[in-house]
């Protein structure tokens, strides 16, 4: 695994190193020891899948607040997505920074997203699927989000949005007291 830093403190772009032969290839997408050596969360309590039918669909921007804050390890396993992460950790050196990264099924890239960061994506192809390894259980009381078109983050979605959930459309714009500080 090759770890590349991103513009957000604690967020990593992880490239899978593959061994190839006449059968195909083999690559490791997770190793508890390597993650721990890097000071990263190495325990994931849930693995989830999100399948999206329509190209141009937006899912996000989501996070879980404390006490159920979560680290996410995200990979596009089918299709392609425009993935967006926004740092809303008030004490972070990259507070309000955003990372926009295209993930495709064939690129062998995962994103390690730290706690306290908003996450969302737009599908760039129909029938896209994203796998998430998540460090905390889903907690509806801690789940929240920010509007996909919030001017604070000025996200450059590559396609005109075609589908968003009512929940995502109901999220407020970001304020600096997002966590009730």
| β-strand partners of 3 | 14
Q: Yes or no: say if 56 and 138 are a contact pair by the CB < 8 Å rule.
A: no
Residue 44 has pLDDT above 90, yes or no: yes
Task: Give exposure, 8-28, as e/b (b: 16+ Cβ within 10 Å).
Answer: bebbbbbebeeeeeeeeeeee
Residue 178 has pLDDT above 90, yes or no: no
Question: Which residues participate in catalysis according to the annotation?
Answer: 62, 132
The reported pTM is 0.95
- Segment 30-50 mean pLDDT: 97
Residue whose C-alpha is closest to residue 69's, from 41, 91, 94:
41
C-alpha to C-alpha distance for 125 and 52, rounded to whole angstroms: 9
DSSP run (H or E) holding 32:
helix 32-37
pLDDT tens column, 63-120: 999 999 999 999 999 999 999 999 999 999 999 999 999 999 999 999 999 999 999 9
Reported confidence tier of residue 34, pLDDT bands at 50, 70, 90: very high
Residue 164 has pLDDT above 60, yes or no: yes
Q: Report CA Rg, the chain.
A: 16
Q: Which domains does the chain have, with CATH numbers?
A: 2-170 (2.60.120.10)
């Amino acid at each position: 695994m090759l770890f590349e830093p991103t513009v957000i403190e604690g967020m990593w772009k992880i490239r899978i190193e593959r061994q190839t032969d006449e059968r195909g290839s083999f690559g490791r997408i997770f190793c508890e020891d390597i993650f721990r050596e890097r000071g990263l969360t190495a325990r994931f309590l849930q693995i989830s899948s999100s399948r999206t039918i329509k190209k141009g669909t937006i899912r996000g921007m989501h996070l879980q607040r404390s006490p159920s804050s979560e680290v996410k390890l995200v990979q596009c396993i089918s299709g392609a997505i425009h993935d967006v992460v926004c740092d809303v950790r008030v004490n972070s050196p990259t507070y309000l920074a955003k990372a926009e990264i295209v993930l495709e099924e064939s690129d062998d890239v995962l994103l390690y997203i730290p706690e306290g960061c908003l996450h969302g994506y737009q599908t760039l192809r129909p029938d896209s699927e994203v796998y998430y390894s998540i460090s905390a259980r889903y907690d509806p009381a801690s789940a929240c989000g920010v509007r996909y078109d919030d001017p604070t983050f000025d996200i450059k979605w590559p396609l005109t949005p075609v589908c968003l959930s009512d929940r995502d459309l109901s999220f407020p714009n970001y304020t600096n007291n997002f966590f009730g500080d």
